[in-house]
């Protein structure tokens, strides 16, 4: 819409859309506003809209992911933390599964000390076999909450069923949707009706378009706070658990405004490769990393082979910050200037 559009002109546009019974989403950006129309308008001429004074231009999006494929989004914010292009990368770390109260509290302290800003831990574990540890469930969520209180780190955990929503709202800051549930459209719609951010993992057999369409389910239901997470796809290769598709990350960062984080732990399945792929992910534009960390990796109940220790995490974070600063000198300078100003004013 025109930056100069008056309130009356915007109302005139909205009543035209109401009259035409068209669904729309108002998109607010720092310096402008846009309206996204999600109905099929292929037979409607553009001049129906361009003749209105509030309209600057009409852009037709051919992709089905009309909202998720947009190039502009507000950063996803968790407290003072911002996850978006142009902001320093975020590091989400913690065990595959929450295994007990004391352990997750200790781990939270250790990953924080290593530089992580968010704690992860699975309470409901969608395991490949029903005979494997399924997670501590609601008890695990309570332990995560305690670890958050003790460390001050916001928490991320995987939701596997809409029935868990209430307890997640009580204890969790970011909903994780796992690879196995990326196609669970009813769950995605429910999360779209929530206010909290959703970390949407790519399914191991999903194309980029299918992944964006999963994000579309959440956004079109009303929640724009979606963080995409590349976690490796299944290919013919058997020497690594999955093939981390960094093509997807580079491609999305050129066209789509949603934040993209990378999970090198599930992407490789091998702890000795986690550092290499973390550095590569940041180098190709990822906005953050999600890494499985255990205080004693060999004792992990789930995903033992890919767990790293807090000391390794510390080295990876330091490397990734250096790489990001090297590749984003302007953004890095702005951030260091504003934190110096903040320091001076305190
Ligand atoms: C996890 O993060 O522990 C997990 C189960 O991931 P994914 O859904 O990517 O397999
Ligand atoms: Mn895992």
Residue 346 has pLDDT above 70, yes or no: no
Residue identifier of the C-alpha nearest atom 1 of ligand 1: 96
Tell me which ligand sits closest to the C-alpha of residue 267.
1
Ligand 1: residue of 179, 181, 262, 269 to mutate (most ligand atoms within 8 A of CB) is 179
Model confidence pLDDT, tens digit, residues 228-274: 999 999 999 999 999 999 999 999 999 899 999 999 999 999 999 99
Residue identifier of the C-alpha nearest atom 10 of ligand 1: 179
The answer to whether the CB of 309 falls within 8 A of the CB of 111 is no
Q: What is the mean pLDDT of residues 277-284?
A: 98
List 8's β-bridge partners, or say none. none
pLDDT of residue 183: 98
Residue 63 has pLDDT above 80, yes or no: no
> Could you tell me where the beta strands, DSSP code E, fall in 232-343?
260-262, 288-292
Mean pLDDT of the chain: 94
Q: Which is nearest to 221 in space by CA: 201, 203, 202, 195?
A: 195
List 37's β-bridge partners, or say none. 24
Residue 81 has pLDDT above 80, yes or no: yes
Determine the Cα–Cα distance for residues 233 and 60; give it in Å rounded to an integer: 31
* Cα-Cα end-to-end distance for the chain: 40
Residue 27 has pLDDT above 90, yes or no: no
Residues around ion ligand 2, judged by CB within 5 A, are: 96, 303
Determine the Cα–Cα distance for residues 135 and 122; give it in Å rounded to an integer: 7
Q: Which is nearest to 278 in space by CA: 56, 49, 70, 114?
A: 114
Q: H or E segment at 266?
A: helix 264-268
Residue identifier of the C-alpha nearest atom 9 of ligand 1: 179
pLDDT of residue 344: 60
Residue identifier of the C-alpha nearest atom 4 of ligand 1: 178
Model confidence pLDDT, tens digit, residues 171-212: 999 999 999 999 999 999 999 999 999 999 999 999 999 999
Ligand 1: residue of 95, 97, 121, 122 to mutate (most ligand atoms within 8 A of CB) is 122
- Distance between Cα 188 and ligand 1 center (Å): 16
């Amino acid at each position: 819409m025109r930056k100069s559009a008056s309130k009356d002109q915007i109302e005139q546009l909205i009543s035209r859309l109401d009259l035409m019974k068209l669904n729309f989403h108002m998109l607010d950006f720092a310096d402008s506003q846009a309206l996204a129309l999600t109905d099929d308008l292929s037979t409607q001429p553009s001049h129906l809209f361009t003749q209105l004074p509030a309209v600057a231009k009409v852009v037709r999006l051919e992709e089905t992911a009309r909202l998720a494929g947009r190039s502009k989004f507000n950063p996803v914010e968790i407290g003072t933390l911002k996850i978006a292009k142009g902001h320093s990368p975020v590091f989400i770390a913690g065990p595959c599964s929450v295994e007990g109260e004391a352990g997750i509290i200790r781990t939270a302290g250790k990953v924080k000390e290593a530089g992580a800003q968010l704690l992860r831990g699975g309470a409901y574990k969608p395991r490949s076999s029903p005979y494997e540890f399924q997670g501590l469930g609601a008890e695990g969520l309570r332990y995560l909450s305690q670890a958050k209180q003790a460390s001050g780190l916001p928490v991320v955990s995987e939701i596997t069923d809409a029935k868990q929503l209430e307890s997640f709202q009580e204890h969790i800051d970011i909903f994780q949707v796992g690879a196995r549930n990326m196609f669970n459209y009813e769950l995605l719609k429910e999360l779209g009706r929530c206010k909290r951010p959703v970390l949407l993992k790519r399914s191991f057999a999903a194309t980029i378009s299918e992944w964006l369409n999963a994000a579309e389910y959440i956004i079109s239901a009303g929640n724009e706070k979606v963080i995409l997470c590349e976690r490796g796809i299944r290919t013919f290769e058997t020497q690594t658990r999955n093939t981390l598709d960094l093509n997807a990350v580079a491609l999305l960062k050129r066209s789509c405004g949603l934040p993209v984080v990378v999970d090198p732990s599930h992407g490789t399945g091998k702890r000795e490769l986690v550092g290499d792929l973390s550095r590569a992910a940041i180098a190709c534009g990822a906005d953050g990393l999600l890494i499985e960390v255990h205080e004693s990796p060999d004792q992990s109940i789930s995903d033992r082979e890919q767990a790293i220790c807090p000391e390794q995490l510390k080295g990876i974070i330091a490397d990734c910050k250096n790489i990001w600063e090297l590749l984003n000198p302007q953004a890095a300078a702005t951030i260091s200037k504003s934190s110096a100003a903040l320091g001076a004013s305190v």
